[in-house]
Chain A
Amino acid sequence: MTAARAPRFRLEPYVQFAKKAMAREATYRFDVFTTVASVLVRVYLLRMVWVALYARNTAPKELPLHAIITYSTVALLMGLVMDIDQTRLLHDKLHSGGIATDFMKPIVVPFYLFADGSGEVIFHAALIVPSLLLALLFVHIDVPGPLTLVTFFASFALGYLVGLFVNFILNCVAFWTLEIHAMQLIVTWITDLFGGEIIPLVIFPAFLQKIAFALPFAAMFSTPLLIYVGAIPPERYAWALGVQAFWVVVLALASTVIWRAGAKRVIVQGG
């Protein structure tokens, strides 16, 4: 009898998955163009909204007008990457039943999903640069000092991981329900409201702020953005990143548990 040994882990296939996903994204060139154009339109509109609102109200002290415009613009640029549902492929495959063929290959299926999604994300991340340059035609944004900038990028990365695991858990729900559209809509509304992508959480009424900061969604947009605009001062950086890291760990563990249960369901029940 041949020894039943799992083949050794190799990174190469996953790098290939990511590369192919990038190539695939690049084939939809029109999509690229419209993505950049939509960012510009939104940058312009949000600037108009905030200018009008600030003209009629007293500005909150943490966020003067130039800060809120910077906030909105950076949020939109972050959205180019954050709004991608990296693991949507899982839901599609569960829906079509195609997941079975992936389990018949010598690959770690969630790694495959992450690799494929990363290719897509890296491709879209590259769009941030031209979008930023074009956005500067409409708005002026503040550029913080190097420490803040570095912390912002670290916080952005953590925020990205929070979003990734939230989406992954949602996509895993399809193991049981196959259809997750309604649930995704609800979660999108909640993240839109409590994530701080559109309205900074610091201008919420106190009780709403309490709810918002107790949820993981604030770790996605709000934390990196508040760091960027200086609403979170350097002495609180460690705490802010720590909270984000906490959510990454909690959601990663939850993802592992739900994935195992889902995969077991496919394997025992046949999907």
Chain B
Amino acid sequence: MAIIEAVGLRKVFRSIERQPGLRGAVAALFSRTFVEKVAVDGVSFSLDPGELVGYIGPNGAGKSTTIKMLTGILVPTAGQLRVAGIVPYQNRMANATNIGVVFGQRSQLYWDLPLRESFELLRSIYDVPRARYLENMKHFAEILDLERFLGTPVRQLSLGERMRGDFAAAMLHDPKIVFLDEPTIGLDVIAKEAIREFIAAVNKERGTTVILTTHDLADVERLSRRIVLIDEGVVIYDGSLERLREEYGTHRTLVVTLAESYPDVAVAGAEVEGRDHNTVRLRFNRRELTAEALIRRVTERYQIVDVQIVEPAIDDIVRRIYLEGYHEGVVGAPS
């Protein structure tokens, strides 16, 4: 049975429309015209327990609004929503005990207190049994390497340390579901990897359901098999990453290192994407031409030293969808 079930979820915000300039600001004090903005427009999806889903979309697509509705701090304008059997906004407190939240941009730790004391406070808030608390702390301290800075006030922690603290804080009460909102933003590669490893471990070992919102698609590629793509408040794709790559990643790149420098390089069926000395990048549509055929065409005309096939980056695929919209079964026209 689904642990998260959203059907036709919709959220409309009402805001005051203001005319530009000082005149408009003064006029707005006396008469107000309201404009409605549809942030989420009929979103439906369902998650099974233990799933790890990437919730992806450009800025302003409605991701945060959806997360806020799931956490119970925003009431949907229309639609049905159940999180672990609970309607979040009707039972904010009960829902809160089932979920854990990490925001990359905002810490839930207590700024002036040593990290350890934030954990103590959370133990008390969620009423975690002492034995379970100690067990979790030991486990998290190990994988997140917290021991070193447990006694440091949060305001003195580096961003990477703080994020590791935030992850432990969100998982301390063994939530059934965790919402991660851009958890790796601003982190260096090593810290990012540590966080990704932790997410993967929690999902695998504890069976925690994870919804991951991010702009760093490397997070998604590393962690989730399923992604939900949202744009302008509408789900435009819900499925596996492979299928998306299959449908959109029609173009690959063959990187050829030539034995000598030819003045002009041109191969039928491929387009020269870039050239750096003797290295040429050839972009081709894999539905029209196999890599083997292309290599043959190249070797017929040029002396080569090395070849390499580069798959399309997920970033490029998603960027294209943001720009063009998603079309089922699209055959890649060159972008």
Binding site for B on A (CB under 8 A): 1-2, 4-7, 10, 12-13, 16-17, 20, 23-24, 27, 97-98, 100-101, 103-107, 266-270
- B224 an interface residue at 8 Å Cβ cutoff? no
- B4 an interface residue at 8 Å Cβ cutoff? no
A17: which B residues are within 8 A, CB to CB?
121
Give CA–CA (A98, B73) in the complex, Å: 12
Give CA–CA (A34, B124) in the complex, Å: 34
Given contacts A17-B121, A103-B92, contact A269 B13 (CB under 8 A): yes
Give CA–CA (A100, B94) in the complex, Å: 16
Give CA–CA (A2, B75) in the complex, Å: 21
- B106 an interface residue at 8 Å Cβ cutoff? yes
Contact B124 A12 (CB under 8 A): yes
Which residue of A has the minimal Cβ distance to B110? A20
The contact of A4 among B87, B110, B127, by CB within 8 Å, is B87
The contact of A270 among B74, B96, B124, by CB within 8 Å, is B74
The contact of A6 among B68, B94, B120, by CB within 8 Å, is B94
Minimum distance in angstroms from A163 CB to a CB of chain B: 24
Given contacts A20-B110, A104-B101, A269-B13, contact A7 B75 (CB under 8 A): no
Minimum distance in angstroms from A154 CB to a CB of chain B: 32
Given contacts A13-B125, A16-B124, A268-B75, contact A97 B99 (CB under 8 A): no
Q: Is the interface of B mostly helix, strand, loop or mixed?
A: mixed
Q: Would you give 28 A-B contacts (Cβ < 8 Å), ordered by A?
A: A1-B82, A2-B85, A4-B85, A4-B87, A4-B91, A6-B93, A6-B94, A7-B94, A7-B97, A12-B127, A13-B121, A13-B124, A13-B125, A16-B121, A17-B121, A23-B117, A27-B112, A27-B153, A98-B106, A100-B73, A104-B96, A105-B108, A106-B93, A106-B96, A267-B74, A268-B74, A268-B75, A269-B14
- B194 an interface residue at 8 Å Cβ cutoff? no
- B90 an interface residue at 8 Å Cβ cutoff? yes
Contact A103 B85 (CB under 8 A): no
Contact B120 A16 (CB under 8 A): yes
Contact A101 B108 (CB under 8 A): yes
Contact A266 B73 (CB under 8 A): yes
B14: which A residues are within 8 A, CB to CB?
269
The contact of B117 among A20, A100, A103, A104, by CB within 8 Å, is A20
B113: which A residues are within 8 A, CB to CB?
20, 23-24
Give CA–CA (A98, B101) in the complex, Å: 13
B71: which A residues are within 8 A, CB to CB?
103-104
Taking residues whose C-beta sits less than 8 angstroms from the other chain, chain B's interface range is: 35 or more
Give CA–CA (A182, B74) in the complex, Å: 30
Give CA–CA (A6, B96) in the complex, Å: 10
Bits for B75-113, please: 1 = Cβ < 8 Å to A, else 0: 100000010111101111110110101010010101011
Contact B96 A101 (CB under 8 A): no
Give CA–CA (A104, B97) in the complex, Å: 9
Give CA–CA (A27, B68) in the complex, Å: 35
Contact A101 B94 (CB under 8 A): no
Minimum distance in angstroms from A16 CB to a CB of chain B: 5
- B249 an interface residue at 8 Å Cβ cutoff? no
Binding site for A on B (CB under 8 A): 13-14, 65, 68, 71-75, 82, 84-87, 89-94, 96-97, 99, 101, 103, 106, 108, 110, 112-113, 117, 120-121, 124-127, 153
Minimum distance in angstroms from B80 CB to a CB of chain A: 13
Give CA–CA (A20, B86) in the complex, Å: 32
B96: which A residues are within 8 A, CB to CB?
104-106
Contact B121 A104 (CB under 8 A): no
Give CA–CA (A101, B87) in the complex, Å: 18
A105: which B residues are within 8 A, CB to CB?
96, 108, 125
Given contacts A2-B86, A6-B91, A104-B99, contact A270 B68 (CB under 8 A): yes
Minimum distance in angstroms from B287 CB to a CB of chain A: 44
Give CA–CA (A2, B89) in the complex, Å: 16
Q: Which 8 A-B pairs have the closest CB atoms?
A: A1-B85, A106-B96, A2-B85, A103-B73, A6-B93, A24-B112, A16-B124, A4-B86
Give CA–CA (A105, B92) in the complex, Å: 8
Which residue of A has the minimal Cβ distance to B97? A106
Give CA–CA (A270, B13) in the complex, Å: 8
Contact A100 B125 (CB under 8 A): no
Which residue of B has the minimal Cβ distance to A8? B127
Minimum distance in angstroms from A110 CB to a CB of chain B: 14
Minimum distance in angstroms from B153 CB to a CB of chain A: 8
Minimum distance in angstroms from A22 CB to a CB of chain B: 11
B68: which A residues are within 8 A, CB to CB?
100, 270
If A7-B97, A16-B121, A270-B13 are given as contacts, then 14 extra A-B residue pairs at C-beta distance below 8 Å, sorted by A number, are: A1-B82, A2-B84, A4-B90, A12-B127, A23-B117, A27-B153, A100-B68, A101-B103, A103-B73, A105-B96, A105-B125, A106-B97, A106-B125, A107-B125
Contact A106 B126 (CB under 8 A): yes
Which residue of B has the minimal Cβ distance to A96? B106
Give CA–CA (A149, B11) in the complex, Å: 58
The contact of B106 among A6, A24, A101, A103, by CB within 8 Å, is A101
Minimum distance in angstroms from A114 CB to a CB of chain B: 15
Give CA–CA (A1, B153) in the complex, Å: 41
Minimum distance in angstroms from B57 CB to a CB of chain A: 17
Given contacts A20-B113, A27-B112, A106-B97, contact A97 B73 (CB under 8 A): no
Contact A7 B65 (CB under 8 A): no
Given contacts A16-B124, A104-B73, A267-B73, contact A7 B89 (CB under 8 A): no
Contact B94 A10 (CB under 8 A): no
